[in-house]
Each structure stands twice: as C-alpha cells, then as structure tokens.
Structure 1
C-alpha cells in the first residue's frame, strides 16, 4: 500500500499544535473510506482549528497578523474551503516569509512561532500532495497514483504533476494515443525528447546532480533558522555564504520549489565552494590580494574565477557582525 505524504512537525513547534498535527496524521489515510470527500476539511476543522485558535489567543499581538486567518478569526478550515489547499499554502508561505523578513533578531519565542508556522505549512502542503483515489487522469489512461512531485533535477513540477494541474504543455509534442508523462522529471529535463533523441538539458543536469543535491541540502538546512549560521560544509566561509544567500531571498523550508531552483542555478552556474569563499571575503571589503593570500592561491586565480561567475552570485546583503568574525576566523581557510 502506498503511503501518504508525511507531515513534518518542526522542532520547537507549539506543543498543542504539534499534538493536533500528529493526531491528524494518525487519522488520515488516502485509501480508507473515512478519508474520502470532505474528510480532510473535517479533520482540519475538528483538530487543527481549535489548536490554532488557542495558540492565537495566547500569542503576542505582533504575531497575529502573520497567523493564517487574521490571527485565528477565520478558521484555517474555512480558508481551505474558500481558496483551496494550494492557495492556502501560498498564503502561509507569504506570511512566514514576511515574519522572517521583519525580525532582525529572533527571541526563543519567535523561533517557536516560525517552527509553528512551518508545521502548519507542511500540513497544508501534505494535504495538497495527497494521492487521488481515481487512477484515471482527465481523459487519459495515465495512472494518477504514480508519484507526483517536483522534478528530480529542479523545482519545476514533474510532467505528470503539471498535467494533473491542468497544464497541457507536457502533452503538446506527444500523440494522444502515446501520451507518456514522467513522474520524475519536468518537460525541460525529460530524459528523451518526443523524437527519441536524448535530451541535452537532462544530460547536463545529471552531470551536476551531486552538486545540486549538496546545495539543496545546505539551502534547506540554513533556511530552517535564519538567526544563526548552520555548520555543515566544514568551512566557515562557505557556511556564511549560504547563510547570506538564504537571507537575500528570504527562503524558508516550505519554499520547496524555490530551494530546488536556486540549487539548480548554483549547479548550472558552477558556483564552487572556492568561489563562495572568494565572494564572502570580497563582500566584506577584503582585497583580492588579501583574499588570495588567505586562500593560499594566486591573485590572478581570484580575478579569473570571480569574473566568470554570474553576477547574481556576487550580490549578497550586508549583515551586521560578520566583518570582525572574518578578520579573526578566516586566516587559515585553505
């Protein structure tokens, strides 16, 4: 039996909401008769709405405008009923991003609030990804119970997912009686073209898949907590680069498509860890000559590497408290 999407409860989430989400998970199954029809809406109303309302009541006033439903005035279940799961997820993501951007320094309670919003976002996204009961998709013989998610190589919807959502671009090149849509890759990254030839974009992306996976893991980890640098790469400059990059775009773990697209751009742009080190040093007013000395390379190598790097990877926000850190902690980064 195929499992339904797992709902992640983020570390630090409000205990009552965490308990309600786990109860929701236990009672939700895509293949049981109880889950058909409006079962998801009823479970949100029965379990999640009271927990969110209680949390809103006990929260500081400044939090309320970021809680879906204007501080709990409109229940989450009603929002889902009015605009649908996908639109509700987009709303929650925008509210979370706005809160993260507005808080220069987060307290422990702010971190709990972020974890709580992330948990609610994951709940709604999991509901939106719930497998359909009918195997037939639209007017085709395609199996609707196949995996439907993002492209393995980027943040675009897989061909099958795109088609289910009503986009016919995926089928435009295939005869109606031979419609084959991938559940793993998007139209741009499908392994073979309709004429049977290998897709060059697919081959290029596959060659950099290890780089893509590495950057995706880093971006996801740093986006989970924007108040401190996550140690992951083993090099402080590389971790600080990812930290600044995530701040630049206001990324959160719920931004799955955006995180994957940024990882793909990094891989395609050949943004190596060495180049990240160079960018961070120069960003905080260290000269190319000093950067080369710190990294144990020639100045000309710094110049050539940064000249070839796309400008989007140079443009990072200025964050307080880091220049002194560089002067005391990056003397031996090579």
Structure 2
C-alpha cells in the first residue's frame, strides 16, 4: 500500500476531481496520516478540497448532503481533522449507500456523482491505510535505533504503562544492537509481557488477560464519570449504587479525561484488588451512614434475598478486604 496508487479513479468521475486525485498521486509518496512533517490531510486540503468545492457549486442542493462538509464551507480536510481518517471511511461509505438507495442513478449526472463519490471514497481509504515511507524509529541524532516505527506505540493493553516498544523508543539512553534478540512488545508493557526474560510464562500476563473484560468495563466507567465529575450516574453502570460509588469516588480525585495513563492504572488496580460491584455497593452504603447489619439488610433487599447471618458475615469480610484507598471519604 505504501507505494501503490492512492485510488482507482472511476472513468465517469468529475474531470476536476479526477485531475486533483491524479495530482495527489504524483505528490503523495512522503505523506501519511501519522507523519508530522508531511501530514496527508494537508495534501487533501491543498488539492482535493478546492476541486470538490468547484464540483459541488453546480450540484442540486439534495446532492450536497452526501458529501461530508459540502455546502457548509468545511472541506473534506476539515471533517477529517475533526473525526479522523478511520471514522471518515465508514461515513463516506454510508453517505454513498444512502444516495444509491434514494436516487435511481440512471441519469448522466447521477452516474457522474456516484462515480465521483466512489473515487473520493477510495482516496480517503488509501490515505487511512498509508504507512510512512520513513518507518524506522530514529534518535535525536537522526540514526535508526533498529526499531520499526510502523508497530503500535502507546499504552499497554492491560494498564497505563507504555508498551515495551514505546518505552524503549522513548529512552534514547538505551541501545539495541543488530545482534540484540530482546523482544520488545508493541502490545504490552514490560510487566505484562507474555513471557519473562527467562522464557517462562508470565503470571502477571495470565492474570491480566483473564480480567481484561472487567478492566475495559472499569476504565469506561471511570472515563465517563471523570468527563462529568459533578453528574450523578454518569458512570452508567446500570446499577444506582455502583454509579453512586463512582460519583463520590471521583469527587475526591483530581484526574481529568486527558490523564489516560492514570485512569488506566486506576482501572487495573480496581481489578487486581478485586473491587467488585458488590464491594462498591458496600462502600457507598457505608458512606451513607449505614452500619454493617443495615448494609447486609440493604444488599439482601436489593438482591431480593432473605437476610441471614452468613450475609452479614460476608459483608463484614468484604469490607475488611477492600484497600483503604478505595474507601469513600467525606468531603
């Protein structure tokens, strides 16, 4: 894909748009969505936006709703900057489908419009897939560090630490020779890599993999509540008591939605500490002033179960097992 033509131009595509796409192809080699020096959206703005604007000037109003941004003064590049290439591709696909469903597409104008939409769709899809030409990760001296820059760099799948690859790439004090066989994961941090340096299986990886679904749930709840800190039930867990726990807990935190590493680490800690929804309910009931027997009674009522000594004992043990940092404190 890196050196292939960015799109197949339909024969019936509008000539102005077709010519812009040809010019785009002639210049697109150093550009990519991930390049800071040559962002490909800039090329879309320079070549494609003017051509699309010129073409849409002569179209009926009912056609404009099928081209993102058409008639609003915002070009394709502006929409891409707002939602990204990955979201732009399905948006274009859906708009094309709607046009085909709504129009009979038998007239010459309809056929030209459909062909133009298809060509633009192919162009944006190619832009989304394109890899940078200069893929190796380089140090501040410009020399390659022996790492492939096309591999994913970011947070560990299981926590807020950087992946082993991203961590190594960001530390230029670490060196890696051609004969170095160290495996740098692009999915997991050093602590969560599937295998230890000895080659043995990593217990931390196995534990985190078993709980990854719950990790995703807790992270989503934290992000929603963090984004609307003062709004009760923003966590949208489906249970009022659990929502109340996240509401009161986040009021005591200073985390913002942009603090992704900290939020991911907090979600991991919740899972590893076995802070189940049942324990969250206990904590929020305790926060509301109920004693242990009343907590057990409330939980039994919510779960439509009879109150038993075993239920009271279970509530007491659950409270004792919850780390102090997850207890709710009066503000």
TM-score by length of 2: 0.55
5 Å matches for 1:180-191?
180-191=183-194
Post-superposition shift, 1:245?
2.0
2:197 is matched with which residue? Answer: 194
Q: Any conservation in 2 of the 1:191–1:203 contact (CA below 8 Å)?
A: yes
Q: Output one character per residue of 1:227-283: Cα deviation in whole Å (capped at 9) or x when no partner.
A: 212152221110111122222222222111111000000000000001000000111
Aligned residues: 203
* Partner residue in 2 for 1:314: 327
Deviation at 1:137, TM superposition (A): 2.6
Which string of whole-angstrom CA distances, capped at 9 and with x for unpartnered residues, describes residues 180-203 of structure 1? 211100001000112211111111
Q: Which residue of 1 aligns with 2:136?
A: 136
Structure 1 stretch displaced more, 309-318 or 189-198: 309-318
Report SS of the residue matched to 2:137: coil
Q: Which has the larger radius of gyration?
A: 2
- 2:141 is matched with none
Aligned to 1:25: none
1:302 correspondence with 2:315: yes
Contact 1:159 1:181 in 2 (8 A): yes
Offset of 1:31 from its aligned partner? 5.5
- Mapping 1:245-284, distance limit 5 Å: 245-284=249-288
Match of 1:244 among 236, 242, 248: 248
Q: What are structure 1's unaligned runs of at least 5 residues?
A: 3-28, 44-130, 319-334
Match of 2:290 among 261, 274, 286: 286
Residues 167 and 207 of structure 1, relative CA distance in 2, 3 Å threshold:
farther
Cα drift, residue 315 of structure 1: 3.8
Q: Which segment drifts farther, 159-168 or 272-281?
A: 159-168
Distance, in Å, in 1 between the alignment partners of 2:219 and 2:200 is 29
- Compared CA separation, residues 34 and 153, structure 1 to 2 (3 A): closer
SS in 2 for 1:223: helix
Aligned 8 A contact 2:221 2:235 in 1: no
Which residue in 1 is equivalent to 2:206? 203
Give the root-mean-square deviation of aligned CA atoms. 3.2
**Offset of residue 149 of structure 1:** 0.9
Aligned to 1:18: none
Q: Which SS does the other structure have where 2:160 is aligned?
A: coil
Give the 3-state SS of the residue equivalent to 1:142 in structure 2: strand
TM-score (normalised: structure 1): 0.54
* Secondary structure of residue in 1 paired with 2:251: helix
Do the aligned residues in 2 keep the contact of 1:133 with 1:145 (CA within 8 Å)?
no
Given the alignment, which residue of 153, 171, 185 partners 1:148? 153
SS at match of 1:226: coil
Aligned-pair distance for 1:35?
8.7
Tell me what 1:161 maps to.
Answer: 166
Runs (5+) with no aligned partner, structure 2: 3-27, 43-130, 139-143, 301-306
CA–CA distance in structure 1, aligned partners of residues 254 and 36 of structure 2: 36
SS at match of 1:141: strand
Shift of residue 303 of structure 1? 0.8
